[in-house]
């Protein structure tokens, strides 16, 4: 079932099994607000089991670029295109959110972003590899984030 994320009324729909469900819902709503304001795009998600193509794409990039396997179970995912940017998001039970920004033009920006929900620990598979900067959000509290640039073609 597809769910359109409402950033006016934050809901934990689809994220209930996460120990930081409220913070993860705020993080998801924060992303929805960004895409609505910047691109007039309605941010929709679906259960990860129904968005296998998006989850597999994100996991493939993580494995091939940095040999990273995420230990937490994916709960929801989405993929879409805004302008010439292909986007994919996966939201994990631990409270982790991973997004891939992949500009379709050859000289464009391509990166993987990690965001940690307020109250979660840095996942072991990321802790020794990345430093996380803090950012305040009205919807998500304190978000810790990091990223890496994608070098190969996907």
Q: Residues in the chain, how many? A: 154
Q: pTM here?
A: 0.95
Answer yes or no: is 39 within a domain: yes
Residue 20: inside a domain: yes
Q: Which domain holds residue 19?
A: 3-149
Ranges of residues in the chain with a pLDDT under 70 are none
- pLDDT value of residue 61: 98
| Domain contains 141 | yes
**Is the Cα torsion angle 63, 65, 67, 73 positive or negative in sign?**
negative
Q: Does 154 map to a domain?
A: no
Q: Is residue 9 part of a domain?
A: yes
Round to the nearest angstrom and report the end-to-end CA distance of the chain.
27
- How does pLDDT run across 2-36, given as a tens digit for each residue? 999 999 999 999 999 999 999 999 999 999 999 99
The confidence score (pLDDT) of residue 141 equals 82
Total domains in the fold of the chain: 1
Q: Is 70 exposed, middle or buried (0-12, 13-18, 19+ CB in 10 A)?
A: buried
């Amino acid at each position: 079932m597809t769910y359109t994320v409402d950033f006016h009324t934050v809901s934990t729909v689809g994220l209930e099994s996460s120990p930081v469900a409220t913070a993860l819902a705020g993080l998801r709503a924060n992303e929805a607000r960004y895409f609505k304001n910047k691109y007039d795009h309605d941010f929709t998600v679906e259960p990860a089991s129904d968005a296998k193509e998006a989850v597999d794409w994100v996991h493939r990039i993580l494995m091939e670029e940095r040999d990273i396997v995420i230990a937490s179970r994916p709960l929801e995912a989405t993929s879409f295109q805004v302008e010439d940017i292909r986007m994919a998001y996966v939201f994990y039970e631990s409270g982790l959110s991973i997004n891939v920004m992949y500009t379709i033009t050859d000289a464009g920006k391509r990166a993987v972003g990690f965001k940690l929900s307020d109250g979660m620990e840095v996942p072991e598979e990321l802790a020794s590899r990345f430093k996380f900067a803090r950012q305040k959000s009205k919807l998500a509290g304190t978000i810790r984030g990091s990223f890496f640039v994608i070098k190969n073609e996907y």
